[in-house]
Amino acid sequence: MHTPWKNLTDNTPKPANKLYWLIGINVIVFLVAIVIAPANGYLRLPAYLPALLAHFWAPVTYLFVHDGFISIIFNLLWLYWMGQLFEEYLGDDRLVGMYLLGGIAGAILFVALFNLVPGLSGSGGLISGASASIVAIVVATATLLPNNEIVLFIWPVKLKWLVVIYALFDLINFYGIGFGVVTAHIGAAAFAFLYIKQLKKGNDWIRGIASLFKRRGPLKVASKNPLKKPSDRPRQDEVDEVLDKISKKGYDSLSKQEKEILFRASKNEN
């Protein structure tokens, strides 16, 4: 099975992996906020509508702001572990799209409930952190590969149970992390789950935003040479069949040919 590290160290030089760009942006914003303390206030997500209108960029920027060293380390480790797995099957363009859209979906639910549920509007809602985006990546990967296992500390855990553990952690720490963060997690998780279900039906919600991050190759002159090698991009229906088989039986059930289809699909996303 190919791995993100193998792709990264391929003989052909490639631009930096987008997972590392996401991690890098989080680190840079964290360091800038230490030097320029007021930056945190401008980048966090307020639920109070007048404040949100004045900080219209906040539904995106809050995804890169962290309150402390422990918070950013915890979030970036999860992003690194789960981001590699997501990226291996769905490509790094979709990883960026899931990070942004999952986090924005969490922001929408947080702001909506804060302003619609009686009693919450006076609680001073303000959230920040990459955790909503990471929840989206974890849930999307678990929805696609529910029976795949990762080693959590020293125990192998199926991805579907990892989501359950994550949810229980939210419930146990509800008063510690707050209503706003939990709500953002729920919104991000719902988006990720629905996205994978729609992707299996051929509806790629992230395709539009992913195209913004695609690397553009040099302009090529069309050739009429009949011996030219055809594109090795697999058909979408072939990819859908492989993804469906993975979700039902796991990656190890794939034949060599099916693994090759998945590998070519991942390569063509870059």
How many CA atoms lie within 13 Å of 206's alpha carbon, on the beta-carbon side? 30
Answer whether residue 77 is part of any domain. yes
What are the tens digits of pLDDT across the range 51-60? 999 999 999 9
Closest by Cα among 231, 244, 232, 230 to 202: 244
Residue 152, SS3 per DSSP: strand
**pLDDT for position 3:** 43
Answer whether residue 227 is part of any domain. no
Answer whether residue 169 is part of any domain. yes
Residues 66 and 30 sit within 8 Å (Cβ to Cβ): yes
Tokens standing for residue 37: 């303390």
Answer whether residue 28 is part of any domain. yes
Residues 12, 103: one domain?
A: yes
What are the tens digits of pLDDT across the range 173-210? 766 667 888 899 999 999 999 999 998 888 888 876 65
**pLDDT for position 131:** 93
Residues 40, 133: one domain?
A: yes
Residues 263, 165: one domain?
A: no
Residue 119 has pLDDT above 90, yes or no: no
- CATH number, domain of 155, equals 1.20.1540.10
Residues 12, 111: one domain?
A: yes
What does the mean pLDDT of the chain come to? 80
Residue 13 has pLDDT above 80, yes or no: no
The DSSP-derived string for 95-117 is HHHHHHHHHHHHHHHHHHHHHHS
What are the tens digits of pLDDT across the range 127-168? 999 999 999 999 999 999 999 888 877 788 899 998 998 888
The last residue of one of the domains, among 211, 227, 259, is 211
Domain extent at residue 16: 4-211
Residues 175, 252: one domain?
A: no
Answer whether residue 225 is part of any domain. no
**pTM for this predicted structure:** 0.74
Neighbours of 86 (CB within 10 A): 27
Residue 251 has pLDDT above 90, yes or no: no
Residues 113, 242: one domain?
A: no
How many domains are contained in the chain? Answer: 2
Residues 42, 121: one domain?
A: yes
3-state helix, strand, coil in the chain (%, to 5): 65, 5, 30
Distance between CA atoms of residues 207 and 96, nearest Å? 11
Answer whether residue 219 is part of any domain. no
